[in-house]
Amino acid sequence: MGGADFIQVLFSEYLNYDPTDRTWFNRDRFFLDPGHMSPMLYSALALTGAYSMEELANFRQWGSPTAGHPEVDFARGVENTSGPLGQGHTMALGAAITERFLAARFGEWMNHNIFTFISDGGIQEEISQGTGRLAGHLGMSNLVMFFDSNDIQLSTPTGDVTVEDTAKKYEAWGWATMTIDGNDQDQIRQALDAAIAETEKPFLIIGKTVMGKGAVTADGASFEKQVSTHGQPLSAAGASTDETIKNLGGDPANPFVIYPEVAEAYAKVNAQKIELAAAKKAEQAEWEKQNPELAATLNSYINNEAPALDFSQIEQKAGTATRAASATALGYFAENVGNMIVMSADLANSDKTDGFLKKTTVFKKGNFSGAFLQMGVAELTMAAIANGMALHGGVIPVCGTFFVFSDYMKPAIRMAGLMKLPVKYIWTHDAFRVGEDGPTHQPIEQEAQIRLMEKLKNHDGDNSMLVVRPADSNETTVAWKMALENTKTPTGMIFSRQNIANLPGSTYEKATAAEKGAYIVEKDSEQPDVVLLASGSEVGTLVEGAQLLRERKGLKVQIVSVISEGLFRNQDVAYQETVLPAATPRFGMTAGLSVTLEGLVGFNGKVWGLNHFGYSAPYTVLDEKFGFTGENVFNQVVEFLA
């Protein structure tokens, strides 16, 4: 582990934390990017008392806290789950922004630094472009990144894939950089001193390190700088584990030991950390005494409480696009939720996050008094930054873009699901009704894809994500209520571009029934002939079709709005049976793939979906061409029931 020297110096001399209180809010944070470096992190933390030798020996085994790639565990000092390269240092940027956001509101007494560790893989991942650009642009001098530059990656030396000058690249983005011998502890100290003293720019320390430092073969020959030592035990790579342990001063028969002199040194380190934290905590206590109201607010933020809001106060216009209804809600939040940070990947006026932006200002270098982050075009970076914000804690991250580009965000959404982070996604332009923009911009399979996350359980046994697609402006308010009250998992909200007529009898109160995932919008009889179900704007199309079914065929209809299938499936069976009575034929309509609703209509049911890419044309024309009309609902249901 060529990065071990850096980690040792960082954890023992620079990183501020309290080993007796690891969740202390104003601690410095350390975000690992290459999760495969987990042994390095676990061993550094073990020296401070967070892991036992037995836990280290059980590396990667069932039930052990030392998973192959680290999984977030604040109580042990693991600030983030890492493994997908590039996301870890992006989460660090999200944390750094959050630190500035909170310091701007509550004072510099709470400031702290964010350190991150990146490897060749993270430097190469595309997400590093967004992170590097934005950190430089925002002048994030509280962010220090160490690059474990060992010139070796998984299958080749880096020279086989790149000629870039990494220092110049980051300098061009507005970073300060310093290149050092990453295995020289004095040079590491000099670099960290410079990084911490830097007040204008994020700081990149390029540490030239030796892959597999100290590794030797059975006959004692050096086995350093070998591609093969990545990701497998040394012996499997061709080195000798025993000889290497000996070479490094250890005992192969008993490798998991902390030598007494090391234990003694770390006892001193821990005592210093506790003392320093105590001083910062005393400063905090003094501030709290003088600012009791602010302190209570800060506390509610830190505790990740859902904001106490009266959602019925949000005045929605009937017949608007749900993205516009979302903008109305966001305008209310801008005035009533002090810790919400909204971001958009250069679509604020289309995804209607501008409803929030109009009432605040954007983050700028040196000024984080606003609450809006203009991302530029970088959806994956945005989603990973949101994860870092949620991991840091104290804020509610919200990010917006077109639904079709949720594809660009998926790797970070998956991590949010795994880490149980209450990030909110605003996805507008939810269907082919984007119209003239054509098939590149028309989501088809995206809803089915993202709803798979509702079926995937997290380690608490909960749906790893909540996905809501409201059917009118009142349901949109309720969708936002569900999102803000969901403090346990990420929430995706899917909104329409086009106007949608309000559902029959729509009110905010009636729409709160959506909090069960699905509810009856209209019911003609206790024993309907058919149940019609959909989410989003297709519910309105079903309402039109139902009218024709009544008029022309005298059919009794039950219309169901399914804002979230995953949530509906968590309801008790009796409720599910009232909404979707098992014996009644079910017809579903979705502007996405039919599979989006196939599970809900059942094997004998029928779905009218869109099972091909869209086309460029006005959306009203596409409605006709693709059969998303009341008339076609009538035709399809009559045929279905025949």
Among 75, 154, 276, 282, binds ligand TPP (CB under 6 A): 154
Contacts to ligand TPP from residues 419-458, by CB under 6 A: none
Structure tokens at 49: 């008392």
User: For ligand TPP, which stretch binds (CB under 6 A), given 119-127, 176-184, 503-511, 531-539?
Assistant: 119-127
Q: Cβ of residue 237: shortest distance to ligand TPP, in angstroms?
A: 12
- Residues 442 and 434: beta-carbon distance below 8 Å: yes
Among 83, 417, 528, 592, binds ligand TPP (CB under 6 A): 83
Q: Cβ of residue 570: shortest distance to ligand TPP, in angstroms?
A: 32
User: For ligand TPP, which stretch binds (CB under 6 A), given 114-122, 303-311, 516-524, 625-633?
Assistant: 114-122
Q: Cβ of residue 184: shortest distance to ligand TPP, in angstroms?
A: 18
Catalytic residue among 379, 447, 454, 538: 379
Reported for 603-607, long-range contacts at CB under 8 A and 24+ positions apart, including other chains, are: 606/636, 606/640
User: For Mg ion, which stretch binds (CB under 5 A), given 148-156, 312-320, 417-425, 565-573?
Assistant: 148-156
Reported for 606-612, long-range contacts at CB under 8 A and 24+ positions apart, including other chains, are: 606/636, 606/640, 608/632, 608/633, 608/636, 610/432, 610/444, 612/444
Binding to ligand TPP by residue 211, rule CB under 6 A? yes
Q: Name the nearest CA neighbour of 207 among 151, 148, 159, 163.
A: 148
The site partner of 230 among ligand TPP, Mg ion, none (C-beta below 5 to 8 Å per kind) is ligand TPP
- Residues 65 and 81: beta-carbon distance below 8 Å: no
Strand partners, 611: none
User: For Mg ion, which stretch binds (CB under 5 A), given 119-127, 252-260, 368-376, 531-539?
Assistant: 119-127
- Of 182 and 400, which CB lies nearer to ligand TPP in the complex structure? 182
Question: In the complex, which residue's CB is closest to Mg ion?
Answer: 120
Binding to Mg ion by residue 33, rule CB under 5 A? no
CA distance 596 to 518: 15
Among 19, 34, 536, 609, binds ligand TPP (CB under 6 A): 34
Among 27, 36, 112, 429, binds ligand TPP (CB under 6 A): 36
Binding to Mg ion by residue 150, rule CB under 5 A? yes
CA atoms within 13 A on the CB side of 640: 25
User: For ligand TPP, which stretch binds (CB under 6 A), given 6-14, 152-160, 375-383, 581-589?
Assistant: 152-160
Q: Name the nearest CA neighbour of 120 among 7, 54, 231, 207.
A: 207
Among 28, 120, 243, 522, binds Mg ion (CB under 5 A): 120
Cβ within 8 Å of residue 333, ≥6 positions away: 307, 309, 340, 356, 480, 484
Binding to ligand TPP by residue 84, rule CB under 6 A? yes
DSSP sequence for 252-315: TTS-----HHHHHHHHHHHHHHHHHHHHHHHHHHHHHHH-HHHHHHHHHHHTTPPP---GGGS-
Q: CA end-to-end span of the chain, whole Å?
A: 70
CA distance 447 to 565: 11
Binding to ligand TPP by residue 121, rule CB under 6 A? yes
The site partner of 83 among Mg ion, ligand TPP, none (C-beta below 5 to 8 Å per kind) is ligand TPP
User: For Mg ion, which stretch binds (CB under 5 A), given 149-157, 444-452, 502-510, 537-545?
Assistant: 149-157
The answer to whether residue 447 is catalytic is: no
Q: Cβ of residue 227: shortest distance to ligand TPP, in angstroms?
A: 8
Binding to ligand TPP by residue 230, rule CB under 6 A? yes
User: For Mg ion, which stretch binds (CB under 5 A), given 103-111, 153-161, 243-251, 425-433?
Assistant: 153-161
Q: Cβ of residue 411: shortest distance to ligand TPP, in angstroms?
A: 7
Give a three-class secondary structure readout of 60-118: CCCCCCCCCCCCCEHHHCECCCCCCCCHHHHHHHHHHHHHHHHHHHHCHHHCCCEEEEE
Q: Cβ of residue 34: shortest distance to Mg ion, in angstroms?
A: 8
- Of 120 and 243, which CB lies nearer to Mg ion in the complex structure? 120
Residue 542 φ then ψ, to 5°: -65, -40
Among 10, 44, 56, 85, binds ligand TPP (CB under 6 A): 85
Among 152, 357, 373, 404, binds ligand TPP (CB under 6 A): 152
Q: In this structure, what DSSP letter does residue 567 have? A: H
Q: Cβ of residue 84: shortest distance to ligand TPP, in angstroms?
A: 4
Instruction: Give the DSSP H or E segment for 641.
Output: helix 630-641
Contacts to Mg ion from residues 447-476, by CB under 5 A: none
CA distance 392 to 21: 16
Using CB under 5 A as the binding criterion, the count of chain residues that bind Mg ion stands at: 5
- Of 148 and 565, which CB lies nearer to ligand TPP in the complex structure? 148
Q: Cβ of residue 159: shortest distance to Mg ion, in angstroms?
A: 12
CA torsion, ordered 592, 596, 602, 606, to nearest 10 deg: 0
Binding to ligand TPP by residue 130, rule CB under 6 A? no
Q: Cβ of residue 84: shortest distance to Mg ion, in angstroms?
A: 16
The site partner of 316 among Mg ion, ligand TPP, none (C-beta below 5 to 8 Å per kind) is none
- Residues 435 and 622: beta-carbon distance below 8 Å: yes
The site partner of 154 among Mg ion, ligand TPP, none (C-beta below 5 to 8 Å per kind) is ligand TPP
CA atoms within 13 A on the CB side of 297: 12
What sign for the dihedral angle of Cα 430, 431, 434, 437? positive
- Residues 50 and 76: beta-carbon distance below 8 Å: yes
Using CB under 6 A as the binding criterion, the count of chain residues that bind ligand TPP stands at: 14
- Residues 439 and 615: beta-carbon distance below 8 Å: yes
- Residues 499 and 606: beta-carbon distance below 8 Å: no
- Of 121 and 585, which CB lies nearer to ligand TPP in the complex structure? 121
CA torsion, ordered 220, 222, 227, 232, to nearest 10 deg: 30
Integer CA distances (angstroms), 301 to 390, 393, 433, 603, in order: 11, 8, 38, 46
Binding to ligand TPP by residue 271, rule CB under 6 A? no
Q: Which residues are catalytic?
A: 379
Residues near Mg ion, by CB under 5 A: 119-120, 150, 152-153
Residues that bind ligand TPP (CB under 6 A): 34, 36, 83-85, 119-121, 150, 152-154, 211, 230
